[in-house]
Structure 1
Amino acid sequence: MRALLIGSMIAGLLAGTALSAPRRYTVPDPTAELRAPKDGASGGQAQGFAAAQANCQTCHSVDYIATQPPGRGKAFWESEVTKMIKVYHAPIDEADGHAIAAYLADTY
């Protein structure tokens, strides 16, 4: 009797698992965008803006940048970009890293 009960429970669990469908999620389109450089598209921060667009969203959303405390300065952003490269292995070359940090310090 006990074996029949355990067997029934196992069969029920297996049948329930086999009949269940995977969950599907609809991910919304990204709505956040990097802020344009204060000095315009052809100013000194244009390279950093372009490098940030090309590199930063590979690993995280723009919201990660936008939610950082404002006005932290160049040292803060240099350390953040360095952390992304050294700790998280972001494939950003040194020149782009400095340009990104300068753009973020000036814009955020």
Structure 2
Amino acid sequence: MNKTLCALLVCWSALALADESAVKLRPGNNQDVVARNCAVCHSLDYIQMNSRFLDRKGWEATVTKMVKVMGAPIKEEDVPLILDYLDQQYGKPK
């Protein structure tokens, strides 16, 4: 089975089990871009759980892994918007 199909199956399974109505992201620029892209494959509470550990470099590594390793269908132009939001709203304090 190819990597993209495997990633899509994992994403669909995660969505079937997740109740995203209970998860609220912090308001901020590009919140909608993050929700639209990240919730395709996993619950948005992963962002909240990882926020105490990741600075901008950590978020960048995570998003890069999601795209290149996990096959997340994130448009290249959305990546900097996602990183800005994650860093500003959930980045580890500097």
* TM-based fold match above 0.5: yes
Instruction: Determine if contact 1:51/1:99 at 8 Å carries over to the other structure.
Output: yes
Q: 2:69 is matched by which residue type in structure 1? A: V
Residue 36 of structure 1 aligns to a residue whose secondary structure is coil
Paired residues for 1:58-97 under 5 Å? 58-70=40-52, 72-97=54-79
* TM-score calculated relative to the size of structure 2: 0.68
Question: Is 1:53 aligned to residue 35 of structure 2?
Answer: yes
Instruction: Determine if contact 1:77/1:102 at 8 Å carries over to the other structure.
Output: no
Residue 50 of structure 2 aligns to a residue whose secondary structure is coil
Residue 67 of structure 1 aligns to a residue whose secondary structure is helix
Q: 1:33 is matched by which residue type in structure 2? A: K
Question: Is 1:32 aligned to residue 23 of structure 2?
Answer: yes
Residue 50 of structure 1 aligns to a residue whose secondary structure is helix
What per-residue deviation string (whole Å, max 9, x for no partner) do you get for residues 49-100 of structure 1? 2211111001000111110142632111111111110011111112201110
- In the aligned structure 1, how far is the partner of 2:18 from the partner of 2:32? 24
- In the aligned structure 2, how far is the partner of 1:28 from the partner of 1:77? 22
Summarize the Cα distance change of 1:51–1:68 in structure 2 as closer, same or farther, 3 Å threshold.
Answer: same
Unpaired runs of 5+ in structure 1? 1-26, 38-45
4+ runs deviating over 6 angstroms: none
Residue 58 of structure 1 aligns to a residue whose secondary structure is coil
Residue 33 of structure 2 aligns to a residue whose secondary structure is helix
Give the counterpart of 1:102 among 81, 84, 88.
84
